[in-house]
């Protein structure tokens, strides 16, 4: 009798194990979704910039608007730029500059992907408009990029002010 019970328990365990594994796989698939993007505040629109690929990881994809850095975009990251409605011109550059004009409307979320393409000496960042479906497809592993902190580097315009000394 004990042998039959043990065999029955063993058979049930082998049958139920794949079912548990299948639900774990399904749960993992469900968890791998693109980040949820909140709607923009009243009177504003927004652009979601993302860089899903690690191709050209050493090439910078700093997004500029009117000559100022909006944010940097390393591989596997995204950021949300909330902005006023109207036409905005964003650019990225390395050995060449790529410019993207986006007409942002109030309450609207636009998507822009940064991809690195082949250049003569180095890779070239390229901005292109996309839709939510592309963000959902490519954005499953994206992490939020922290806001850009202006530093004294080549991309920032720093006003040099003379230092006054107490000796004068």
**pLDDT per residue as tens digits for the range 118-155:** 777 777 888 999 999 999 998 888 999 998 887 755 54
CA–CA separation, 167 and 155 (whole Å): 34
pTM of the entire predicted model: 0.69
Q: For residue range 29-58, what is the model confidence (pLDDT) as tens digits?
A: 555 788 899 999 999 999 999 999 777 676
Give the DSSP per-residue string, 57-117: TTS---EEETTEEEE---TTEEEEEEE-SEEEEEEEESSSEEEEEEEE-TT-EEEEEEEEE
Sign of CA dihedral 8, 13, 14, 18: positive
Residue 125: predicted pLDDT: 86
Q: What is the pLDDT of residue 33?
A: 81
More confident residue, 157 or 105: 105
pLDDT score of 111 more than 80: yes
- Give residue 46's pLDDT: 97
């Amino acid at each position: 009798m004990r042998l039959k019970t043990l065999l029955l328990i063993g058979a049930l365990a082998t049958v139920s194990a794949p079912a548990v594994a299948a639900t774990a796989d399904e749960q993992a698939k469900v968890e791998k979704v693109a980040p949820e993007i909140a709607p923009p505040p009243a009177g504003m629109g927004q652009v979601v910039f993302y860089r899903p690929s690690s191709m050209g990881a050493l090439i910078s994809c700093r997004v500029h608007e009117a000559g100022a850095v909006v944010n940097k975009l390393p591989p596997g990251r995204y950021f949300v730029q909330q902005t006023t409605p109207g036409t905005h011109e964003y650019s990225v550059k390395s050995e060449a500059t790529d410019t993207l004009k986006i007409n942002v409307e109030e309450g609207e979320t636009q998507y822009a992907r940064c991809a690195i393409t082949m250049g003569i000496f180095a890779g070239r960042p390229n901005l292109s408009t996309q839709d939510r479906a592309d963000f959902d497809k490519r954005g499953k592993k994206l992490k939020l990029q922290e806001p850009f902190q202006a530093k004294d580097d080549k991309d920032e315009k720093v006003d040099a002010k003379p230092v006054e000394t107490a000796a004068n």
